[in-house]
Amino acid sequence: MKKGIFICHCGTNISERVNVERLKSILESDGYLVRDHLFLCSQDAKQLILNFQDEVDGFVIAACSPENHETYFSSFIRKPFVIVNLREQCSWPHRDGEHATKKARDLIRAGINKLSYIKKPKTVKTKMEESVAVIGGGIAGITASIELAKLGYRVHIIEKSPSIGGKLLKFDKIYPLNDCASCVISSLISEVSAAKNIQIHVYTEVEEVSGYPGNFRIRLRKKQTYVDWEKCTGCGKCIDACPDRAKVPSEFDDGLTFRKAMYIYSPFAYPKKAVHDPEACVNCGKKKIGTRRLLRSGKEYLTPCEKACPTGAIDRSKNWDPEGEVFEIRAGSILLAMGYEVMSKDSFPEFPSHLPNVVTGIQMERILSPTGPTGGELLVPETLRKPEAISFISCVGSRDERYHTYCSKVCCMYMLKQARLIKERNPEIDVFIHYIDIRAPGRDLEEYYTLARKLGIKILRGRVGNVEPLNNGKLRILGFDSDTGDPVEYTADMVVLATAVELRESERDVARKMRLDIDSSGFVKEKHPKLQTFETSIDGIYLAGCVQGPKDVTETVLQAKSAALSVSSFLGKGEREIDVETIIDAERCTGCGMCIISCPFKAITAENDIPEINPISCRNCGICYSVCPVKAVDMATHGKAIEKELEGLKA
Ligand X SMILES: Cc1cc2nc3c(=O)[nH]c(=O)nc-3n(C[C@H](O)[C@H](O)[C@H](O)COP(=O)(O)OP(=O)(O)OC[C@H]3O[C@@H](n4cnc5c(N)ncnc54)[C@H](O)[C@@H]3O)c2cc1C
CA distance 40 to 8: 5
Taking the least distance from each CB to ligand X, the nearer of 356 and 473 is: 356
Burial of 324 (0-12, 13-18, 19+ CB in 10 A): middle
φ, ψ at 481 (rounded to 5°): -105, 105
CA distance 49 to 59: 9
Binding of ligand SF4 at residue 84 (CB under 6 A)?
no
Binding of ligand SF4 at residue 87 (CB under 6 A)?
yes
- Min dist CB 374 to ligand X, Å, is 17
Which of 231, 229, 290 minimizes the C-alpha distance to 265? 229
Which of 149, 139, 146 minimizes the C-alpha distance to 174? 139
Residue from 10, 110, 313, 516 that binds ligand SF4 (CB under 6 A)? 10
Say if residues 461 and 482 touch (Cβ distance below 8 Å): yes
Taking the least distance from each CB to ligand SF4, the nearer of 49 and 168 is: 49
Binding of ligand X at residue 361 (CB under 6 A)?
yes
φ, ψ at 248 (rounded to 5°): -105, 125
- Min dist CB 63 to ligand SF4, Å, is 4
Dihedral in degrees, nearest 10, Cα atoms 561, 193, 151, 175? -20
Binding of ligand X at residue 175 (CB under 6 A)?
yes
Query: For ligand X, how many residues bind (rule: CB under 6 A)?
Result: 39
Taking the least distance from each CB to ligand X, the nearer of 563 and 595 is: 563
* Interface pattern 60-99 for ligand X (x via CB under 6 A): ----------------------------------------
* Interface pattern 212-241 for ligand SF4 (x via CB under 6 A): ------------------------------
Binding of ligand X at residue 139 (CB under 6 A)?
yes
Cβ-based neighbour number of residue 98 at 10 Å: 11
Binding of ligand X at residue 332 (CB under 6 A)?
no
Strand partners, 126: 576
Residue 337 binding: pick among ligand SF4, ligand X, none (C-beta 5-8 Å cut-off by kind): ligand X
Taking the least distance from each CB to ligand SF4, the nearer of 72 and 327 is: 72
Binding of ligand X at residue 153 (CB under 6 A)?
no
CA distance 14 to 86: 7
Binding of ligand SF4 at residue 148 (CB under 6 A)?
no
CA distance 451 to 442: 15
Which of 524, 523, 558, 522 minimizes the C-alpha distance to 541? 524
Binding of ligand X at residue 161 (CB under 6 A)?
yes
DSSP assignment of 76-96, as one string? T--S-EEEEESIIIIITT---
Angle CA 107–113–115, to nearest 5:
100
| Range in contact with ligand SF4 (rule: CB under 6 A) among 35-43, 209-217, 278-286, 521-529 | 35-43
Binding of ligand SF4 at residue 287 (CB under 6 A)?
no
Residue 228 binding: pick among ligand X, ligand SF4, none (C-beta 5-8 Å cut-off by kind): none
CA distance 174 to 417: 8
Query: Any alpha helices (H) in 16-134, and if so which ranges?
Result: 20-29, 43-51, 66-74, 97-115
Taking the least distance from each CB to ligand SF4, the nearer of 68 and 426 is: 68
CA 25 to the chain's CA centroid? 49
| Range in contact with ligand SF4 (rule: CB under 6 A) among 38-46, 149-157, 448-456, 592-600 | 38-46
| Range in contact with ligand X (rule: CB under 6 A) among 88-96, 300-308, 319-327, 549-557 | 549-557
CA distance 468 to 477: 7
Binding of ligand X at residue 507 (CB under 6 A)?
yes
Say if residues 220 and 334 touch (Cβ distance below 8 Å): no
Angle CA 513–517–522, to nearest 5:
100
Say if residues 525 and 537 touch (Cβ distance below 8 Å): yes
Residue from 88, 207, 552, 634 that binds ligand X (CB under 6 A)? 552
- Entry field: residues in the chain: 651
Residue from 159, 315, 493, 645 that binds ligand X (CB under 6 A)? 159
- Min dist CB 235 to ligand X, Å, is 24
- Min dist CB 248 to ligand SF4, Å, is 55
Binding of ligand SF4 at residue 39 (CB under 6 A)?
yes
CA 305 vs CA 198, 292, 314, 320: distances in Å: 32, 15, 7, 16
Q: Packing angle between helix 139-150 and helix 181-194, nearest 10 degrees?
A: 40
CA distance 591 to 399: 55
Taking the least distance from each CB to ligand X, the nearer of 107 and 174 is: 174
Dihedral in degrees, nearest 10, Cα atoms 198, 204, 205, 207? -90
Binding of ligand X at residue 289 (CB under 6 A)?
no
Residue from 5, 26, 27, 40 that binds ligand SF4 (CB under 6 A)? 40
* Interface pattern 369-408 for ligand X (x via CB under 6 A): ----------------------------------------
Binding of ligand SF4 at residue 83 (CB under 6 A)?
no
* Interface pattern 371-410 for ligand SF4 (x via CB under 6 A): ----------------------------------------
Binding of ligand SF4 at residue 41 (CB under 6 A)?
yes
CA distance 343 to 339: 13
Residue from 135, 390, 459, 599 that binds ligand X (CB under 6 A)? 135
Positions in the binding site for ligand SF4 (CB under 6 A): 8, 10, 13-14, 39-41, 63-64, 68-69, 87
Positions in the binding site for ligand X (CB under 6 A): 135-141, 158-161, 166-168, 171, 174-175, 205, 337-340, 342, 361-362, 365, 410, 414, 417, 501, 507, 510, 545-546, 551-554, 556
